[in-house]
Structure 1
Amino acid sequence: MERMIGAVLAGGQSRRFGSPKAFAKRKDQYFFQIAVDALHPFVKEVYIVSHPDLVARFERMVTNEKVVMDEERYRGQGPLAGLYTVMKQTEADWIFVLPCDMPYIQSDTVGRMVSYVDHAFDIVVSTHFGRLQPLVGAYHRRTMKWIEHMLQHGDNRMRSLFEHCSVRYVNEQDFGAEEIVFRNVNDLDEYADIAAE
């Protein structure tokens, strides 16, 4: 296995949620920490990509993770900018990405996804239950040139990146996982059930 690191993307504005989702909790554990814990068994180190206003807060709360801000010239261009930022920070061959708002994600799911990582592909992502999850998967650093090209031209759509790369789509036929594992929390209504657990 080539060297792999983890990236938790926590730089969004969380406008619909009303506050930074990374610091919401499920069963007394912060959302971002759930993602970090899911990654740790399979990666050499974990980066948290954050908004400038939140960097200090993250740094106070973590011990082993590296907290970084999006490259300034691409700030505000979404997950692709976060992925590019981490690739600029490391020489690792693979970046396994998770979002900060998926509080049911499990290390077992990450491990099974990692088992499908193959040098023959540039990207390995989940398409469980008919839904593409571009932020649950691994990206080879070969994709960096395309990401930079897209960001330079104002195209920050993850799907556009897939058009340029060799992608391995992993779904429920490849390994079983409950649908809830891939559930995102976008607003307070969706969070209400989790907060009540």
Structure 2
Amino acid sequence: MLGIVLCGGQSLRMGTDKGLLSHQDKLWAQVAFDKLNSLNLQVKFSVNPLQQETYAGYFGNKQLIVDDPSLDVRGPLLGVLSAYLSNPEEDLFLLACDMLLMEIRLLEKLIYSVKADDAFEAYIFTKDGQQEPLCGIYKVEGLKKIVHLLQTNGLAKHSMKYVLSNLRVCEIAIEDQDYRYFSNFNSHAEINGL
């Protein structure tokens, strides 16, 4: 299994690259990396071509997976499929770089879920019945299915929630006291309270 820190978004509302913002003297991308790394995973950063040079300066080119220009998709799915195509034998453990408060014990819960029952193609949390697709484990067979749908024009939408609707998904309901760990920060106003 390969850990993937999703950093390739446009960060339009924030107005600056979220992965390169600092929290407690660490880049947001590094915070997410450290959490996935603590699970004994090899971890890489998913970035878009415009970010490659800057992120290589911080983390080295070997740590990066740059969006595949041959894929006709946008958004997080582009990063996910680019990571899959460059590592087709690896299940992917995704974590968005803006889920700053995520706790390692919750990430461990996903790994336990896979070990307990590996019959699913994706393992994610749900909050109030809504899927949280950017913190989850996506297995090779599910990713292969999505690439096939894309290649055969069977992927009507490119949202991660639509992708999940095509997979066998293990959903883990988030308990009320854990809701805050799933916050993602999109604007300066949202991070002022940190």
Fold conserved (TM > 0.5)? yes
TM-score scaled by length of structure 1: 0.86
Alignment: residue pair count: 189
Which whole-Å CA distance do the structure 1 matches of 2:94 and 2:124 have between them? Answer: 9
Match of 2:192? 192
Q: Cα gap change, 1:35/1:17 in structure 2, threshold over 3 Å: closer, same or farther? A: same
* Aligned counterparts, 1:84-95, within 5 A: 84-95=81-92
Q: 1-side partners of 2:72 and 2:29: how far apart?
A: 20
- TM normalised by structure 2 equals 0.87
Whether the 8 Å contact between 2:45 and 2:64 is mirrored in structure 1 is: yes
Could you tell me how far apart the structure 2 residues matched to 1:143 and 1:64 are? Answer: 27
Equivalent in 14, 17, 20 of residue 20 of structure 1: 17
In structure 1, the partner of 2:161 is 159
Per the TM alignment, residue 42 of structure 1 is displaced from its structure 2 partner at its CA by: 2.2
User: For residues 55 and 37 of structure 1, what CA distance do their matches in structure 2 show?
Assistant: 20
Alpha-carbon spacing, 1:30–1:87, altered in 2? closer, same or farther (3 Å)? same
In the aligned structure 2, how far is the partner of 1:77 from the partner of 1:138?
Answer: 20
For residues 188 and 25 of structure 1, the distance between their equivalents in structure 2, rounded to whole angstroms, comes to 12
Distance 1:42 1:186 in 2: 26
Could you tell me which runs of 5 or more consecutive residues in structure 1 were left unpaired when the two chains were aligned: none
Aligned-pair CA distance for 1:39? 0.4
Q: Does 1:74 align with 2:71?
A: yes
Q: How does 1:17-166 map to 2 (within 5 A)?
A: 17-62=14-59, 66-74=63-71, 77-117=74-114, 118-152=117-151, 153=153, 155-166=157-168
In the TM superposition, structure 1's runs of 4+ consecutive aligned residues that sit over 6 Å from their partners are: none
SS in 1 for 2:192: helix
RMSD: 2.2
Q: 1:130 to 1:163 in 2, by over 3 A?
A: closer
Moved more, 62-71 or 106-115: 62-71
Report the CA distance shift for 1:40/1:92 in structure 2 as closer, same or farther (over 3 A).
Answer: farther
Gaps of 5+ in 2: none
